[in-house]
């Protein structure tokens, strides 16, 4: 076993958290040292409530990792929230088995950045340490030149000439020839050995001695059906919101849910994975991650993932190749599209400019514009960052950092989600920007009014400061958190606190529509990180009456506006969100400082001495 940082006898620990409890606003989890065992993982799951039922009879099935406590330099930033526990244990066991010399080779390779982009690559790195030679006493080109000349006798130099040798230049040439690098662990060069992939990323191929999830109890049929139903519900909603063709075929929520559920239970999963990936879902995304967990828990077999109808059709008509038909159809469609595009050379931007020229400055032609960050060093901290991260880093959305990359007419009924889908899956030929992604901005010009929308983690968030930077200096409006009523609404997607805001107010705060409660009485509004419930219809005379009676000084000023101040001489501090508390706990853990006292049960506990 090597000497890890701070004299720890294990490479890292992970805080495993009950996801269902987390979504209810409570952080329930435990620190687990790695490498660990299947028995310990089962015991931890029992203690944090995985497998138990909530007050409504739903089983807590999902977990994720809130934080890591790493004692291997450079490893912390490589680990994510949804890492596989078997892979984590595999890597930890390989680290734990290293000698001190092998551990120095591993750390040097990590610092060089070779083969460490993912957990799979790092596991393979632990199996290929013989690819690196490390010289801990050589720290610069001069040291390297002297080592080769004086120790290895790379050239015969008389004693009286040694003071005239440019060792630094010689060492620089050697480093270039060997493709060597200097690290904090010394000089590292390629030994010439081939890098061999031992682990292919298929979790079924992890050696049994490293697996901690394989011994989990087998799911009952009832549990499989319930789990498949939940996934089918989420997939049906996702497809209807992001795939216009699917939405037209299944306009009513739930119409296709049973069919999806039956296919999942039958092991027909590959087609859905391909469709989700084509729509931009990442492997660590919610739906693909959940599908992978479902496959692992239900004994998925890839060779059985076939469509019986296709097999039957192929057997009945062996003379016709469906693949050939599909290729012929695709080639024909491509030719027709190319001919159409060549004949129609007018771009959407041309249409907008012509209409504006005809109608003058007062044009009410509805349009949309896409802005993307300029490719400059000044925008590095903004690229692909969610809006809450921008604000948390003390930054703001500034129009001078963006450039217009596309403009076109806005057809009736086209939503922001339609625009997002089109500019990811079926991008126009004259669009030269990258696929619509986080940090991009879509400006809608409708009925003579402009609104700016930031492409966020979950949907879009309004950013009025993009159109009017002076708004950043205005007094902040009340947040949904400030106006919580204490009531909780439960939907199949989770539990949500009710806030006494109107839809217009919560949209102005950067929240967009996510879904509706089953009874239709509440709208769930989200901003990519947090979500709240608002009544579908608020009292027209004064939608803020309850909030005003709660926080304003006197009842004779119930006027429909939060403008009378709060009771008491000082304003209460705004309660930080769960996400902010977790981020604070992460920073404190990384700095090895004691955590500040927070709300009981909601702050990540310090790891301390395990």
Res. 311: pLDDT tops 70: no
Q: Are 63 and 19 in contact (CB under 8 A)?
A: yes
Q: Map residue 34 onto helix, strand or coil.
A: strand
User: Average of pLDDT values for 12-38?
Assistant: 92
Beta strand pairing call for 494-499 and 484-491: antiparallel
User: Average of pLDDT values for 276-296?
Assistant: 81
Distance CA 467, CA 453 (A): 10
Res. 572: pLDDT tops 50: no
Distance CA 88, CA 72 (A): 13
DSSP line for 40-66: HHHHHHHHHTTT-B-TTS-B---EEEE
Q: How far is CA 251 from CA 189, 238, 245, in A?
A: 60, 12, 10
Mean pLDDT of the chain: 79
Distance CA 389, CA 100 (A): 39
pLDDT in tens, 480-494: 888 888 899 998 888
Q: What is the pLDDT of residue 330?
A: 60
Q: What is the pLDDT of residue 334?
A: 66
Res. 574: pLDDT tops 90: no
Instruction: Return the percentage of the chain with pLDDT > 90, whole number.
Output: 20
Please give the model's pTM, rounded to 2 decimal places.
0.40
Q: What is the pLDDT of residue 37?
A: 92
pLDDT in tens, 212-228: 985 445 678 888 899 99
Task: Report the length, in residues, of the chain.
Answer: 610
557 confidence band (pLDDT: 50, 70, 90): very low
Between 360 and 416, the higher pLDDT residue: 416
- DSSP designation for 480: T
Res. 599: pLDDT tops 50: no
User: Average of pLDDT values for 128-155?
Assistant: 86
Distance CA 340, CA 357 (A): 27
User: Average of pLDDT values for 502-526?
Assistant: 88
Q: What is the pLDDT of residue 314?
A: 61
DSSP line for 465-515: HHH-GGGGGSPPPPPTTTTEEEEEEEETTEEEEEE---HHHHHHTT-EEEE
Q: Give 96: exposed, middle or buried? Use CB within 10 Å, 0-12, 13-18, 19+.
A: middle
pLDDT in tens, 380-415: 888 888 888 888 887 889 899 999 999 999 988 899
598 confidence band (pLDDT: 50, 70, 90): very low
Q: Are 195 and 128 in contact (CB under 8 A)?
A: yes
279 confidence band (pLDDT: 50, 70, 90): confident
Q: What is the pLDDT of residue 148?
A: 85
Distance CA 451, CA 299 (A): 49
408 CB-near residues (< 8 Å, 6+ apart): 348, 349, 351, 352, 367, 368, 428
Q: 221-260 burial, b for 16+ CB within 10 Å, e for fewer?
A: eebbeebbbbbbbbbbbbbbbbbbebeeebeeeeebbeeb
Tokens, residue 220 = 């009952």
Q: Are 213 and 85 in contact (CB under 8 A)?
A: yes
Res. 35: pLDDT tops 90: yes
Between 266 and 309, the higher pLDDT residue: 266
Q: What is the pLDDT of residue 34?
A: 94
Tokens, residue 329 = 């159809």
Q: What is the pLDDT of residue 324?
A: 63
Distance CA 73, CA 66 (A): 19
Considering 95-99, 286-290, 594-598, the range whose residues carry the highest mean pLDDT is 95-99
Q: Are 18 and 49 in contact (CB under 8 A)?
A: yes
Res. 332: pLDDT tops 80: no
Q: Are 128 and 115 in contact (CB under 8 A)?
A: yes
Distance CA 229, CA 146 (A): 69
Min mean pLDDT across 98-107, 171-180, 280-289 is at 280-289
Q: What is the pLDDT of residue 570?
A: 39
Q: How many CB atoms lie within 10 A of CB 340?
A: 9
Q: What is the pLDDT of residue 215?
A: 45
573 confidence band (pLDDT: 50, 70, 90): very low
Q: What is the pLDDT of residue 29?
A: 93
pLDDT in tens, 409-448: 998 889 999 998 888 877 888 888 888 888 999 999 988 8
124 confidence band (pLDDT: 50, 70, 90): very high
Q: How far is CA 494 from CA 114, 506, 532, in A?
A: 41, 19, 11
Tokens, residue 282 = 């990442």
pLDDT in tens, 235-263: 998 988 888 888 888 888 888 899 999 98
Helix (H) or strand (E) holding 454: strand 449-455
182: which strand partners? 187
């Amino acid at each position: 076993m090597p000497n890890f940082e701070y004299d720890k006898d294990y490479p890292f620990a992970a805080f495993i958290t009950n996801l269902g409890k987390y979504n209810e606003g409570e952080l329930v989890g435990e620190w687990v040292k790695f490498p660990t065992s299947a028995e310990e993982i089962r015991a931890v799951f029992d203690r944090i409530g995985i497998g138990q039922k909530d007050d409504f009879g739903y089983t807590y099935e999902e977990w994720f990792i809130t934080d890591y406590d790493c004692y291997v330099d450079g490893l912390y930033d490589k680990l994510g929230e949804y890492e596989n526990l078997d892979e984590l244990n595999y890597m930890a066991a390989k680290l734990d088995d290293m000698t001190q010399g092998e551990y120095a080779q591993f750390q040097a390779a990590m610092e060089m950045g070779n083969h460490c982009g993912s957990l799979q690559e790092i596991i393979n790195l632990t199996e290929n340490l013989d690819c690196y030679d490390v010289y801990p006493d050589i720290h610069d080109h001069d040291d390297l030149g002297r080592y080769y000349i004086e120790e290895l006798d790379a050239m015969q130099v008389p004693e009286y000439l040694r003071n005239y040798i440019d060792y630094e230049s010689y060492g620089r040439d050697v480093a270039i020839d060997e493709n060597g690098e200097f690290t904090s662990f010394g000089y590292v060069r390629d030994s010439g050995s081939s890098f061999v992939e031992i682990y292919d990323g298929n979790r079924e191929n992890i050696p049994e001695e490293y697996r901690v999830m394989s011994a989990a109890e087998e799911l009952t049929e009832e549990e499989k059906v319930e789990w498949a139903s939940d996934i089918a519900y989420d997939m049906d909603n996702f497809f209807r919101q992001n795939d216009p063709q699917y939405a037209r075929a299944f306009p009513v929520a739930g119409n296709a849910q049973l069919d999806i559920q039956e296919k999942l239970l039958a092991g027909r999963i590959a087609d859905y994975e391909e469709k989700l990936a084509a729509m931009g879902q990442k492997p660590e995304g919610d739906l693909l991650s959940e599908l992978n967990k479902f496959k692992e828990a239900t004994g998925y077999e890839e060779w059985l993932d076939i469509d019986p109808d296709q097999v039957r059709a192929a057997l009945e008509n062996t003379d016709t190749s469906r693949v050939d038909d599909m290729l012929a159809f695709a080639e024909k469609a491509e030719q027709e599209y190319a001919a159409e595009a060549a004949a129609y050379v007018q771009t959407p931007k041309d249409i907008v400019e012509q209409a504006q020229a005809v109608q003058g400055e007062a044009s009410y032609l509805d349009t949309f514009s896409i802005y993307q960050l300029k490719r400059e060093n000044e925008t590095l901290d903004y690229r692909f960052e969610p809006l809450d991260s921008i604000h948390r880093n003390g930054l703001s959305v500034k129009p001078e950092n963006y450039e217009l990359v596309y403009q076109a007419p806005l057809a009736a009924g086209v939503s922001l989600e339609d625009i997002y889908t089109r500019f990811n899956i079926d991008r126009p030929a004259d669009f030269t920007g990258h696929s619509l992604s986080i940090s991009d901005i879509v400006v809608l010009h409708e009925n003579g009014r402009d609104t700016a929308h930031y492409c966020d983690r979950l949907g879009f968030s309004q950013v009025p400061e993009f159109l009017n930077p002076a708004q950043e200096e205005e007094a902040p409006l009340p947040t949904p958190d400030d106006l919580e009523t204490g009531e909780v609404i439960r939907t199949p997607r989770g539990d949500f606190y009710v806030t006494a805001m109107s839809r217009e107010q919560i949209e102005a705060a950067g929240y967009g529509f996510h879904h509706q409660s089953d009874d239709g009485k509440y709208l769930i509004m989200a901003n990519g990180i947090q979500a709240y419930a608002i009544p579908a219809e608020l009292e027209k005379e004064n939608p803020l009456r309850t909030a005003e009676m709660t926080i304003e000084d006197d009842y004779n000023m119930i006027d429909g506006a939060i403008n009378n101040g709060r009771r008491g001489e000082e304003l209460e501090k705004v309660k930080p969100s769960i996400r902010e508390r977790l981020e604070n706990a992460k920073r404190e853990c990384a700095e090895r400082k004691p955590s500040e006292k927070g709300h009981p049960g909601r702050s990540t506990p310090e790891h301390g001495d395990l």
